[in-house]
Structure 1
Amino acid sequence: MQTTQVLLSEAHLGTKLNHAISGERRGEFGLLLAMLSADARDMAQFHLKGSDREIEERLHEQFELPKSQPLLSDMSKEQVIDHSLVFQQQGLAAFHLSQCLQPEAVVTRGAVPIEVSQVLANCSLVSKAKYTGDLTDEDLSINTPHFVDQLVQQRLLAEIIV
């Protein structure tokens, strides 16, 4: 039997759950419960009104949860949290405590994505400086004096030598 209806909560089942209980059909009752969504956020008590940001802040406040673990940290913009020294010196329990109090980011990287950094590793220093904006085309231009100015400088040097 295949159903096209997605079951998120008990409200979607209607009276089927009640009939399975009253008819002592344990198999059907178990099947109906197994078809429900396993995600706790789909339960009715978590369907709150407001924007996602407001809901998340309200739930964090209500359940006294710490701030969520950052997924990505950029070493070039902020100080990166590193609990490896705590783990080495004080052990696993201290590491877990540090992680709960101030969570590390899942991924730590620099200012450029990993794909771009792999390409830049194979480039010359000039190409890297151009990419980061440290070097412009004006810096690369050579300011050679005009031919006439070179002749004047040579005549001056010749007069000094003679």
Structure 2
Amino acid sequence: MQIEYPLVNELQLGNRLNDAVEHHRRGEFALLLSMLSNDARDMAQFQLDNDLSNDEKLYKQLDIPQPQALVCDLSQSVAINNADAFYGNGLSQFHLHQALKPEAVVTRGKYDEDLQITLSNCDLLTKLKHEQATPAITDLNSIHFLDQLATQRKISETIGNQLSAVA
């Protein structure tokens, strides 16, 4: 009998070890344990960094900070600003903050500068259409036209009463 892949650690067995213990199957339990690797480095608790790339493993192993971000997108994350450390405590404190949490070289918004200028000159509905987040219009259609007129009349009367009380 050939097995498709060798057993390395107990995570590959799933619940089979538990079932063997629960149902008092000593032979199956011994067989499963004998099929596991003898090397302690193959056990599950030592396989924590398998999903990391080689660069990330080296950063973690040598305790090196991550490289400085080149571009910071303000719409997705909070920008790091070390200017307060410089103005408050001087250049040495700024260098310390920059070494611990480096600022991005360029900070910008979600879109390029030309598109941001164009969108800033557009109305809100056009901006929402560009982001494909148009609001649902069903709320306006659910209110009857006469109810809308009555609500607007009440609002105008309230504003008129407030203005006459001020004058």
Alignment TM class, shorter chain as reference: 0.3 to 0.5
User: Please, what TM-score do these two structures have when normalized by structure 1?
Assistant: 0.46
User: Please, what TM-score do these two structures have when normalized by structure 2?
Assistant: 0.44
